[in-house]
Amino acid sequence: MRTTATGRPRLEERKRPGNTARDEVLDAAAELFTTMGVAATSTRQIAEAVGIRQASLYHHFRTKNDILAALLSGTVVSSLSAAHQLRDRPEPAVVLLHALCYLDCRLLWDSPWNLGILYLLPEVRDPQFDEFHRQRTELRAAYRELAERVVADLSPPAPGCLDVTPDDDAVFRMVETLPNLRADGLGAPDQPARTADLAVHLLGWRGDWAALRAASRAVAAELAQRPVDEVTSSTVAP
Amino acid sequence: MRTTATGRPRLEERKRPGNTARDEVLDAAAELFTTMGVAATSTRQIAEAVGIRQASLYHHFRTKNDILAALLSGTVVSSLSAAHQLRDRPEPAVVLLHALCYLDCRLLWDSPWNLGILYLLPEVRDPQFDEFHRQRTELRAAYRELAERVVADLSPPAPGCLDVTPDDDAVFRMVETLPNLRADGLGAPDQPARTADLAVHLLGWRGDWAALRAASRAVAAELAQRPVDEVTSSTVAP
């Protein structure tokens, strides 16, 4: 049983990480969904894992799918916010794209539960997940836009270089392999930065990788404070 | 209701594509698993979709998970066979890797049901799927080996080129994004060849892409006859 880090007295003992009962429900559901499966998990089991009554759970979420929708949106919303903030920054596009990859991958890589494995579930095709799909589509479009700027900056392209187009979704696809690596127990500890390197390399960028990483890390650090923490607080332990 | 292409008389009308009752069960299960979800599908529903009794289904498969295991293995076994045959061929490694990607992607892209979306299901972590995981791990290793040969052939690497290592699993990761693209309704019609191009580009290969594609296609055509048809007959309509 964890104790509160601040030592502030609490009315009740918390069974799960999270600042609020809602956060505890999200954490418990994320664990059950990613280990038992969504269909095999009931709201009763989620309530039990939190140590609350099912009726209390319904105070926060109407249905199991409402919980799943909140969790899935939580995996993209802060990356989307980062993408919006990055768009108008003065740094070269390759730095911005690297930073977006890095932040997005960190979320997929370091979050306590590997929620990315749930993206392709047939159940998630239901219209009640439209908001999540809209957000994910918007994030994909942001990757396309930045990737296009990176490729345009490469002119003239090196001889023998493939013409990577926005429709290839090359960077977004590399980022979304992190749930696979995680599920398979593979990948370097610095996988988020490494995947950002690979994505940019895939577009044909060549240069000083240490300098690119440093510039990307500086931009990411500026952005990370707000959006990453926002998501962290809704899905993850403090 | 489909009629038999050969016009040969049949004892009973087939409801599903497939040469045998076993194939029909696999096809029906693949449809239900990828559209309704695995947990939401019962063997009774599968039997109904084929038009046979549940008892007849148990003649071919003991459990629902046996069906799922057969389907999952069916998505990797022929690529694995292709990888083994490619290994000792005389063509340059880049041609062999391109051909392996192409064949593997074709299977993921053109099969009637997008079974790749089931790879990461929590249910599939169960030991009864060990054979599938073993096969997929072996396929990943074959990609690593070929990718290493491609990178070694690049020496000296172009200036500013990233040192892509076997641990990056860069090619395998790109290939396994096809279920995502398919689920999202994205990707070019020639996605298998395009993904093979992107994978090789990611490793840092530069050269005559039309010549590479032609050489790869020739190798793939030689191999395709046996292994791809083998898988086709067990999961797909003739």
> In angstroms, rounded to a whole number, what is the distance separating the alpha carbons of residues A71 and A31?
11
Mutation site, A35, A126, A177, A197, interface B, largest B CB count within 10 A:
A177
Q: What pLDDT does residue B160 have?
A: 87
Q: What pLDDT does residue A224 have?
A: 73
Residue-wise pLDDT for A53-70, tens only, equals 999 999 999 999 999 999
Q: Which segments of chain A belong to CATH 1.10.10.60?
A: 21-71
ipTM of the complex, rounded to two decimals: 0.87
Helices in B36-177 by DSSP H: which ranges?
43-50, 54-60, 64-74, 77-87, 93-110, 130-153, 170-175
- Homologous superfamily (CATH) of B21-62 is Homeodomain-like (1.10.10.60)
- Say whether residue B214 is in contact with chain A using an 8 A CB cutoff: no
> Residues B93-122, buried b or exposed e (16+ Cβ, 10 A)?
bbbbbbbbbbbbbbbbbebebbbbbbbbbb
Cis peptide before B157 (omega within 30 of 0): no
Q: What pLDDT does residue B111 have?
A: 95
pLDDT in tens, chain B (238 residues): 444 444 444 445 667 887 889 999 999 999 999 999 999 999 999 999 999 999 999 999 999 999 999 999 999 999 999 999 999 999 999 999 999 999 999 999 999 999 999 999 999 999 999 999 999 999 999 999 999 999 999 977 778 889 999 999 999 999 999 999 999 999 988 999 999 999 999 999 999 999 999 999 999 999 976 544 444 433 333 2
- Say whether residue A207 is in contact with chain B using an 8 A CB cutoff: yes
Report the run of H or E that residue A143 belongs to, with start and end: helix A130-153
Residue-wise pLDDT for A122-146, tens only, equals 999 999 999 999 999 999 999 999 9
Asked if residues A32 and A48 have their Cβ atoms less than 8 Å apart, the reply is no
Q: What pLDDT does residue B72 have?
A: 98
Q: What pLDDT does residue B18 have?
A: 79
Residues of A whose CB is below 8 A from B117: 120-122
Residues of B whose CB is below 8 A from A202: 198, 201-202
Q: pLDDT exceeding 90 applies to what percent of chain A?
A: 79
Beta carbons of A34 and B122 less than 8 Å apart: yes
> In angstroms, rounded to a whole number, what is the distance separating the alpha carbons of residues A103 and A193?
9
pLDDT of A156 strictly over 90: no
Give the DSSP letter of residue B76. Answer: T
Classify domain A21-71 by CATH number. Answer: 1.10.10.60
Instruction: Determine the distance in angstroms separating the CA of B86 from the nearest CA of chain A, rounded to an integer.
Output: 24
Q: Which segments of chain B belong to CATH 1.10.10.60?
A: 21-62
Residue-wise pLDDT for A62-112, tens only, equals 999 999 999 999 999 999 999 999 999 999 999 999 999 999 999 999 999
Question: Bigger pLDDT: A229 or B133?
Answer: B133
